[in-house]
Chains A and B, each alone.
Chain A
Amino acid sequence: MPADACPAWGTPLARPVEGSPWRRVPAEGSPSALAQPRVAAGREPGRWSAASTPPAASTPPAPRPGVPRPSALLLALALALCLAVPGLQAAGPGPGPGPGPGSPGVPGAPPPGLLRQAARAALHFLNFRAGSPSGLRVLAAVLRGRAAVDARRTCRVDLEFTAERYGPEVADGRLGRCSARVVFRHQKPRPAVNVTCTRFMETSRRRREDFLLYKRAKRLRAPLGATSIPDSHGWIDPSLRPIWDLAFLGSSYVMWERTTQTLHYYMAQLSSVNQWKTNEDAIDFDYTVLLHEFSTQEIIPCRIHLVWYPGKPLKVKYHCQELHTAQEGSGTEEGSAVAPTQPNNF
């Protein structure tokens, strides 16, 4: 199975894996029960006071009570069928190097490539929503997951994974544990994400670090114009760290929006600081990053404009340049309970 293929719910299954750790969702087939999100979008008490319900961008559309929509019914049916049979678990890698995905293993199990894809999308989304440059996380390891595709080729992935802090160190060992549901629409970007992670840092400490970063940023005279951060040798001047962290925060939004079932991104380099305004309360940062796109290997320059203040939702606009294909992409987000299609007032 290719690294990103979503197993069909009708795929013949091997003998069920014994002692499966995956909690079985009750297969009553009630559409409303199955269409509701199981886990809340990553949020902490008091943070999203502006939004009392999970933001629309992160959940599949809920059916009107008592009147199941045909698509929800189909989905429910597909899920009921695949959830009732316990064969669809990937052999979790656990600590240490991962076993081969193409191994003579369980046919029908979701390829770890797909699970990693989902984990990355979930983390980009989480990083963006949290709006905290001190609390940025990256994928450590996928623990377990399941996936199924429906008749419309929508691929739903449920998974658990560990995440670690994004920082200059290779790894400081502290892991947070996350669970997520990621739904990839066929060939389309902007997967729907529901994700929660355990904290790897006390909230008060993270807030303090954000505020310290904010203070450093306010005093910082950024190198305006073309730049290379990191430089060719991978070096980032420690004094410029706040710029890098904020650049990554803004890029998280872009990378989440662009991720599909088959495409994913890393931030390769900050190539230009167009504007760095700190004279008002918020940090107003206009910059260009180079995103590295898998599996095409392309380097995508994206111009991003963000406004950040500690504790407030991130405001971000962007425009990515496509070099040789016709597709260009742009987007904008307030970072609060705003549906994705509404124009931003930023």
Chain B
Amino acid sequence: MKLILVFGALLGHIYCQETFVGDQVLEITPRNEEQIKHLVELEAEEHLQLDFWKLPTIPGETAHVRVPFVSIQAVKVFLESQGIAYSTMIEDVQVLLDKENEEMLLNRRRQRNGNFNFEAYHTLEEISQEMDTLAAQYPGLVSKVNIGQSFEKRPMNVLKFSTGGSQRRAIWIDTGIHSREWITHATGIWTAKKIVNEYGKDHTLTNILNAMDIFMEIVTNPDGFAFTHSMNRLWRKNKSTRPGVFCIGVDLNRNWKSGFGGNGSNNNPCSETYHGPSAQSEPEVAAIVDFITAHGNIKALISIHSYSQMLMYPYGHSLEPVPNQKELYNLAKDAVQALYQVHGIEYIYGSISTTLYMASGITVDWAYDNGIKYSFTFELRDTGRYGFLLPASQIIPTAQETWLALRTIMEHTLNHPY
């Protein structure tokens, strides 16, 4: 317990001193009043720069003191010459702090009170576990649907939120199609939790779920996501390989059958926007195509990315405006306004090709061409300050504001059946 206090105080010191390499923490036990007096004198020696947590007032009480590296010899000689008992608690403070820092980061991810920590980034296993937990805790609302396997044979699971009916009009949401965009998975799992919490409380959401289903694929690129944890935090594509091809991975957001292979995608397998050998060649994409096509009643599709703070609609492969472009423009405007009200974050909006850049073979273009009139793509926070490495402290605010935008789009879809 005392150790924790020591560490806590030490961590507080981090912000004043850069490094504690070689510093030691001694535990000193004075036996009588005279030894206590000596310790008080020692503490007063400014040039030693000793850091006493507590000076003992009665014999037998222990004191812990951090001794800077340069003073260790002098202090130990002094204690020994006075016959004052001491022992070395910590051999090298810096080593401990480094480990503590690591643990601190690890603890951020661990469950608090057994609950999923939404304020932290998680591994594939942790997210999968939380998905199972939600399905188990809300069996009347949430179920897990397997839609296929990734290239490396990981299961691809989708959460289905439904209050009943059969093949109801539905909304599809996907996050994590680009594995390095960690804020999207974090937003996805938070949103899943939000839905189960708000059904029956939030009027709008309740209306939506009473008439429609919501499908959410949180880790749309599980192989890539695992890779961002194990080897390369900035990996974007999936992990598919082909014989004779030197580089790994296809950009899953260039592999769809709409304007496939056009401008804004690349036929070089080593490129970050490699579209793959053919449309839908990737199992991660094919699984979604098969699911949505078989379902036949998806009325809105929202594909979530980061970063840039944008909300966009088709097309990416062409400058040609979609037939209901005015409606989508106005809906985007409303959604972005709702988002802005939460934390004052400004998004820009418009069609993909005119707002961001030309991109071919993308999810929302395919969705739109397959009859899904309300197809949107988000680029979440931020605008480049941290980019993909968005601090975990921004997860909740990002998810909160995004939720309002999502709800706006879903509500519009509900009220405009087609």
Contact = CB atoms under 8 A, between A and B. Distances in A.
Interface of A: 1-4, 93, 96-104, 111-113, 138-139, 141, 166, 170, 216, 219-221, 228, 230-235, 237-239, 262, 266, 268-269, 290, 292, 294-299, 323-324
Given A101-B348, A112-B348, A266-B384, A3 B357 contact: yes
7 contacts: A2-B353, A3-B355, A97-B340, A98-B348, A138-B384, A298-B272, A299-B234
Interface string B222-250: 00000011000110100000000001000
Contacts of A298: 271-272
B389 A234 contact: yes
A221 B357 contact: no
Contacts of B337: 96-97
B364 interface: no
Contacts of B72: none
B320 to A, nearest CB: 11
Contacts of A166: 385
Interface in B79-115: 101, 105, 108
B271 A111 contact: no
A141 B348 CA distance: 11
B127 interface: no
Contact of A297 (B108, B273, B336, B391): B273
Nearest to B229: A232
B177 to A, nearest CB: 13
A179 B121 CA distance: 39
B389 A269 contact: yes
Nearest to B390: A234
A4 B390 CA distance: 26
Nearest to A232: B233
Contacts of A228: 233
Given A170-B394, A298-B271, A97 B336 contact: yes
A234 B355 contact: no
Contact of B355 (A101, A170, A231): A101
Nearest to B326: A104
A293 B41 CA distance: 61
B350 A230 contact: no
B18 interface: yes
Contacts of B387: 266, 268, 292
B346 interface: yes
A76 B348 CA distance: 34
A101 B354 contact: yes
A221 B19 contact: yes
Nearest to B183: A234
B18 to A, nearest CB: 5
A101 B268 CA distance: 31
A102 B18 contact: no
Contacts of A234: 386, 389-394
B40 interface: no
Contacts of B356: 3, 113, 295
A100 B21 contact: no
Contact of A100 (B228, B247, B349): B349
Given A1-B354, A3-B356, A323-B270, A97 B349 contact: yes
A323 B274 CA distance: 14
Contacts of B211: none
A239 B15 contact: yes
A296 B391 contact: no
B121 A232 contact: yes
Contact of A111 (B247, B266, B268, B354): B354
A252 to B, nearest CB: 12
B358 A2 contact: yes
Given A232-B233, A235-B392, 11 more contacts: A1-B354, A98-B347, A101-B348, A101-B350, A102-B350, A113-B355, A235-B391, A238-B15, A295-B359, A297-B236, A324-B247
A290 B347 CA distance: 26
A220 B229 CA distance: 29
Nearest to B246: A324
B357 A294 contact: yes
* Residue from the set B121, B264, B354 with the largest chain A CB neighbour count within 10 Å: B354
B121 A233 contact: yes
The 3 closest A-B pairs by CB, nearest first: A102-B354, A100-B350, A234-B391
B120 interface: yes
Contacts of A93: 348
B97 to A, nearest CB: 10
Contacts of A96: 337, 340, 346
Contact of B120 (A113, A216, A233, A266): A233
Contacts of A138: 383-385
B14 interface: yes
Given A219-B18, A233-B391, A324 B268 contact: yes
Which of B229, B359, B385 is packed against the most chain A CB atoms within 10 Å?
B385
B408 interface: no
A171 to B, nearest CB: 8
Given A113-B355, A221-B18, A292 B329 contact: no
Contact of A97 (B272, B273, B346, B386): B346
A280 B349 CA distance: 50
Given A102-B354, A230-B391, A97 B233 contact: no
A259 B263 CA distance: 20
Nearest to B332: A100
A112 B308 CA distance: 14
Contacts of B105: 231, 233, 235
A2 B325 CA distance: 16
B359 to A, nearest CB: 8
A59 B18 CA distance: 43
A2 B234 contact: no
Contacts of A221: 18-19, 21
B31 interface: no
Given A2-B357, A166-B385, A299 B272 contact: yes
Interface string B105-137: 100100000000000110000000000000000
B319 interface: yes
B333 interface: yes
Contacts of B268: 324
B351 interface: yes
Interface in B381-415: 382-394
Interface string B1-44: 00000000000001100110100000000000000000000000
